[in-house]
Every structure is written in C-alpha cells, then in structure tokens.
Amino acid sequence: MTMRYDVTVIGAGFAGSLLARLLALRGRAVLLVERDVHPRFSLGESSTPLAALSLERLSARYQQPDLRALAAHGRWRRELPGLRCGLKRGFTFYRHRPGEPFPTTQTHEARMLVSASPDAEVADCQWLRADVDTHMVQRARAAGADYRDRFEVVGVEPAGERLRLRGRYGGEDVEIDAGFLVDASGAGEVLARAFGVEHEASEPDFSSRLLYGHFEGVRPFAEVAAGDGATLPTGPYPDDWAAVHHLLDEGWMYALRFDDGLVSAGLLIDDAAVASGASAGGGDPELRWRAVLSRYPTLESAFAGARPLPPGIRATGRLQRRRRTAVGERWAMLPQTFAFFDPLFSTGLAWSLLGVERLATVLETGRPTSQSLREYDALLRAEADQQQALLAAAYAARLDFRVFRDVSFLYFACASFEELRQRLLDGADAVDTIRAIGRARFGRVARLSRRWRHELDRVVRSGAGPGSRDRGRRFR
C-alpha cells in the first residue's frame, strides 16, 4: 500500500501533533505517525512565559483557542477541565547537603525563589504530558491530519523529488510517498539514524540520566522544612506552587505538583558525581531513588508517605545528545529531536514551540527553500550552543549555591528580557518569517557561561570532589 502526503510528521508528542494540526488547518495533506499509542505514561513538565507567548501567537494565527488556554493556569482550568494541570508561579531552588536537614539557619544561602507570574490566573502551568499529548493528537485529527499509531518506521530513502518512508502498520508493509518529512520523534532520532547524521563533535561536556515517576502523598517541601525548624521567609508565591528544584551532590531533583495532588518527580543523576563516589549508581530504579533520598533527611521526610503510581519509578540512559545538523534535502528535525541537554531551566517546551512556529511558517504554503532550511538550522544550532554552555555551567555551579544563583540569574535575566521584548516590540511580522520568530538573543549567556565553566573547572580541579562545596569556596 502506498500513501501520498505533502508532509509526514514522525512522532506524536505534543510538538509533532501540533505541527501536524497547523499544517492540516492550512490545507496541506499531512500524515502523523507514532510508534506508541495515546494515552501513554509520560513525564510531567513545567511551562514558562516564553512557551506561553508561542502558544498565544499560534492561537491567534491559526484561530485555535485551546492553545491560548494552555498558556495560562486560569484559562486552562476553565476551558480545558478534562486535562490535568498544575499551578506554576515560578522556579524554586533548594540546595541540600548530605546527612544534614535542610538548613534551619541561613536559609537564604540555600533557597531561591524566582517568580514568573504575578497571580494564579495568568500563571504558567505544569503539563501532564500524557493528557496534553492525547489532546494534541485529537486536535490534529480533527483538523484533518491522517494519524497512524503503533506505526513502525522501517526505512527512509530519497525517491526522485520526494522521500519514501517505509513502515509496518497494522501487520502490513506500507510505503509513504512524502513531499517533506519532519522528525518529531525526540530521542527516537529517526531521521538522524536513517540518513547517518553524525553526533556533534563538541558534545555536551556533562552527562546525566534520569529516575522518574508520578507520586501521590508527597508533602509540600516548605511545610516539611518548616516542621524541621527551618525559617522560610514569605516569598512572592508559596514555595511548592512552582517547578521545585532540589540541588544535590548526585545531581538534582524536580518536583512538579499538580492541582489534584499528584506530584511528578525526577532525579537527574550527574554521571561525574556517581563516578567520584556519590550514591545512585546502577541497580533497581526504586532502590536507587531511595538511596539518594536517604542522604537528604528533609527531602526523605517529604517523600516518606509517598507512593509511586503505576508503572512505578523508571530509569533512562544518558540524556544528552546533539546532532550535527537539523535539516537535509526535504526534511527537518524539531528542536528536541536535534538536541537535548537537561531540563534544569525548563527550556524544552518553549524551544519545541519555537520550532513548531518556524516549521509551520515555511511548510504551510509549500516546500521550504534551501535558504529557509539553512536559516532554521543556523538558529537551532545557535540556540543549542547557548543552552549547552548555560547548562554545563549550571551543572558545575550547583555545588556552590552562590555561584549557581549567579549563573541562574544570568539565564533568568535574559529570559525575562526576551519575554518583554516579544511582548512589547514584536510586530505582526514576528510570525511571518523564520528569523523573526524568537531571535537567537542569548549570545552573551553562551559566552559568559563558557567563561564561568572554565573558571569552575579550575576551582573544582584545585579542590575536593563532590560533597564539600559551598562553605569556604568563593568563585571569582
């Protein structure tokens, strides 16, 4: 069986489905293929103001009110009550030391709250990706995209002026005749494998892997810390209604609270820390999870009565990956298929949405020119450089909270500036050209982060391994 489409999107995560929907709305013949089946177990993720801006632009441009609803907690609760979400007022960071309860004195040296929105109505949201992704697939189908799940990609090759995608679907061999292919398969990296796109030579110089799950019965951390005697001055929002980050010697943990009480949590384990003796090595994910928490008494108390929901705690391999290019003849990758580093500053949803905006812009009217694909590629590579440098610096800096605070402020200052710039200055042309949609603005972040990283390496080399930071260590 051969099927013919203008555009075929591989991977029905929220980003692939959204792109398929937008192109179908513009009258393109679109096929969306997914190897899995929705709804499926997936992460909880926290959104940001830059992601909200993209959603609002897309909503206005394509007349899709649900996208505007996803951009703000109040609207989401009213207009999409069937999709579970959580209130996210900002980014909360706590620095823990092994064997010690969360500090009861000098809390400000171990706690940082970065406010992102002034109230719950306009606040960002925690996304339960299982729900959001299912919704996005339904909307893609409603817009006219053809959708095939349990689809196995077997091969891709050029076929004259088009591409041929071979697959297995419903027990049969199928061939897709595609005018253009978009790889939205994330870590699946389907086209990079099919076309032999190499890994970027300057691979990220840090390495983390993930233990994650959804839990019920997790107590709010601020409440537990206060019970242990910590004095937590009132912040701009309640500590737990945020993307909560616990910085640990082994790496860091995120805890995202949903409005129904579910907490999606993950431990990002730094391979360098494990190599130099911190806990969390191999073995059963649940035992590894407990081994890390057992070193941090206040965190352990917060999870003491918690129960992981099915399918339990899962583990991944190394997360960092980056390919040399994001485009080729008649194909392109979405950002998170091209590169992924670490979710420490929640940059993923916003970046994915920028990618959707850009590709929708060039694909909605026909085949993109090689010039527009080169431009897309250059933007993605510049943005990947920035994230890579920033995250490498933040990873090293997490061991000294004062340095970490400085590195983060640089990021938050740039993100806030970019948000303001887009809100105040971008005209209608922002959605008409690839370059105007989210400019690569963080050049200084990349440069400064690289310098900091260099200095951090020097400091770390001259001192002890993980476990003894913070006190007596000043970074200049």
Ligand X SMILES: Cc1cc2nc3c(=O)[nH]c(=O)nc-3n(C[C@H](O)[C@H](O)[C@H](O)COP(=O)(O)OP(=O)(O)OC[C@H]3O[C@@H](n4cnc5c(N)ncnc54)[C@H](O)[C@@H]3O)c2cc1C
Binding region for ligand X (CB under 6 A) = 10-16, 33-36, 43, 45-46, 151, 153, 184-186, 188, 190, 210, 266, 319, 334, 336, 343, 346, 348-349, 352
- Specify the residue, 34 or 375, whose C-beta has the smaller distance to ligand X: 34
Q: How far is the CB of 168 from ligand X (least distance, A)?
A: 11
Q: How far is the CB of 28 from ligand X (least distance, A)?
A: 19
- Specify the residue, 293 or 334, whose C-beta has the smaller distance to ligand X: 334
CA atoms within 13 A on the CB side of 201: 0
Is the bond preceding residue 158 a cis peptide, omega within 30 degrees?
no
- Specify the residue, 185 or 408, whose C-beta has the smaller distance to ligand X: 185
Select from 142, 131, 129, 151 the least CA-distant residue to 34: 151
Q: How far is the CB of 149 from ligand X (least distance, A)?
A: 9
- Specify the residue, 211 or 373, whose C-beta has the smaller distance to ligand X: 211
- Residue 245 has a CB neighbour count (10 Å cut-off) of 24
- Specify the residue, 10 or 53, whose C-beta has the smaller distance to ligand X: 10
Q: How far is the CB of 165 from ligand X (least distance, A)?
A: 10
- Specify the residue, 176 or 456, whose C-beta has the smaller distance to ligand X: 176
Q: How far is the CB of 58 from ligand X (least distance, A)?
A: 14
Instruction: Determine phi and psi for 294, rounding to 5 degrees.
Output: -65, -15
What are 227's two structure tokens?
């019970």
- Specify the residue, 43 or 437, whose C-beta has the smaller distance to ligand X: 43
Q: How far is the CB of 39 from ligand X (least distance, A)?
A: 11
- Specify the residue, 174 or 230, whose C-beta has the smaller distance to ligand X: 174
Q: How far is the CB of 304 from ligand X (least distance, A)?
A: 24
Q: How far is the CB of 242 from ligand X (least distance, A)?
A: 11
- Specify the residue, 178 or 334, whose C-beta has the smaller distance to ligand X: 334
Q: How far is the CB of 228 from ligand X (least distance, A)?
A: 27
